[in-house]
Amino acid sequence: MKLILLGAPGAGKGTQAEVISDALKIPQISTGNILREAVKNGTDFGLKAKEAMDAGKLVSDEIVIGILKDRIAESDCENGYILDGFPRTVPQAEALSAMGISIDKVLEVYVSDEKIESRLSGRRVCESCGASYHIEFKPSKVDGVCDKCDGKTIIRKDDSPEVVKDRLKTYHDQTAPLKDYYGKLGKLETVIGQDEVADTTKLVLKAVGVNG
Ligand code: ADP
Ligand code: ZN
């Protein structure tokens, strides 16, 4: 199964992608996590990506398409995958299609801009493995420590209120048109993000055909 998770920053697509990944035993591919890792390691494209990411803008299509191509060529992707944060522009979607990849379903997790602004202010991410938490809605067991790898959880630089506004604008301008793109292909299904993560998860699993 090949799935795309679509949603504004902070709508919870990463969290839901993790759940689907566990349920269907297919890898979650997060271009955001791959890019942050590259920035941390100071690789060539990490340096190029950093400026755009810190400003809440998109990294160039060329770079992310290259990253994605390499990642899906790995052996764990043979039985499918969940794309979390890719495609984010129509040209990226066209690139997938040009690679001959047929997507089974595009799941949109919808949350209003207003809610997103409050959610992102409480978000924490693990600096080692990228797992995502929220101080109120999804706290780690020990404050400041990742449940999965004992890494340190930190506030992402682009979760500051000013950058969040820019990220939302970028989403509406460049990514939201994908709803139309995949809607026309009959692949789009929208799930309304609930206040409780577990409630959203139920809807998401149902949408991908897993009875929880
Ligand atoms: P979020 O969805 O919460 O904004 P991500 O972790 O998915 O966060 O992405 C963080 C940043 O990485 C984005 O703001 C953007 O700069 C960059 N990025 C991630 N995926 C893509 C992509 N497919 N195309 C362009 N830029 C991307
Ligand atoms: Zn971790």
Mean pLDDT along residues 172-185: 97
- Cβ < 6 A, ligand 1 pocket: 9-10, 31-32, 35, 52-53, 56-59, 64, 85-86, 88, 92, 158, 167
Residue-wise pLDDT for 123-174, tens only, equals 999 999 989 899 988 899 999 999 999 999 999 888 988 899 999 999 999 9
* 8 CA closest ligand 1 atom index: 2
CATH number (domain holding residue 18): 3.40.50.300
Structural domain contains residue 199 = yes
pTM above 0.75, yes or no: yes
DSSP string, 90-117: HHHHHHHHHTT---SEEEEEE--HHHHH
Structural domain contains residue 94 = yes
Q: Is 167 a catalytic residue?
A: yes
Ligand closest in space to the Cα of 31: 1
pLDDT score recorded for residue 162: 87
pLDDT score recorded for residue 212: 55
- Angstrom distance (rounded) from CA 27 to CA 133: 20
Residue whose Cα lies nearest atom 15 of ligand 1: it is 58
Ligand closest in space to the Cα of 150: 2
pLDDT score recorded for residue 58: 95
Residue-wise pLDDT for 53-80, tens only, equals 988 899 999 999 999 999 999 999 999 9
- Angstrom distance (rounded) from CA 91 to CA 156: 27
- End-to-end Cα separation, the chain, in angstroms: 18
Count of structural domains within the chain? 1
Enclosing domain of residue 109 = 2-26+79-113+166-207
